[in-house]
Amino acid sequence: ALRLEDLRIPNSYIKTFQGPPHGIQVERDKLNKYGRPLLGCTIKPKLGLSAKNYGRAVYECLRGGLDFTKDDENVNSQPFMRWRDRFVFCAEALYKAQAETGEIKGHYLNATAGTCEEMIKRAVFARELGVPIVMHDYLTGGFTANTSLAHYCRDNGLLLHIHRAMHAVIDRQKNHGMHFRVLAKALRLSGGDHIHAGTVVGK
């Protein structure tokens, strides 16, 4: 079996991609947070909450001092919590926490969908709600979809957080697949302002 450990990409090819929509400095400017790490968490339980209760958890985390909260990779549009309802309740939670703390807050709304058209529709709705950031599962969604979303985010002032869901299928085996650095380089070309790096100690 073969395993792709790394690759070198010619500068002439790199220049044909836009790369990350914005970057960390733009994120700090949007959140007005400088000189320290940004603190956030993923809402748990990841599945089972209603949109209203999910929004309440977002509010409590942001009100408690976090800079941002995020959807988990499989929080999408389930019967118990449709995406549009979740987006609305999370935006309400964000604005309430901002009003009470005087700080700018964020929530990473997962825009991943079964088609590029649906994904962009979710990103458009997030922008209309005024949230600063959306999220995408770039491996399950696909590189072309991710690049399309990165272009939309760049053009419309949205930050883009990337989740690496499904990476283990590709990079965990030592005798086949590819190293995550290859996936990370491909993402760098496709576009994302930052990526979920996993937990420090595992699950």
Report the alpha-carbon distance of residue 41 to residue 52 in Å, rounded: 18
Residue 62 structure tokens: 């942001």
3-class secondary structure, 84: helix
Is residue 185 part of the annotated active site? The answer reads: no
- Alpha-carbon distances, residue 79 vs 49, 72, 87, 107 (angstroms): 11, 16, 15, 21
First-last CA distance in the chain = 29
Rg of the chain taking only CA atoms, in angstroms: 17
How far is C-alpha 69 from the geometric centre of its chain's CA atoms? 10
3-class secondary structure, 174: coil
> How are the residues of the chain apportioned to helix, strand and coil, as percentages rounded to the nearest 5?
45, 15, 40
Task: Exactly one of 105, 107, 163, 167 is catalytic; name it.
Answer: 163
Is residue 44 part of the annotated active site? The answer reads: yes
- Do the strands 40-42 and 68-70 form a parallel or antiparallel pair, or are they unpaired? parallel
Cα–Cα nearest to 71, from 161, 5, 9: 161
Residues with a catalytic annotation lie at 44, 163
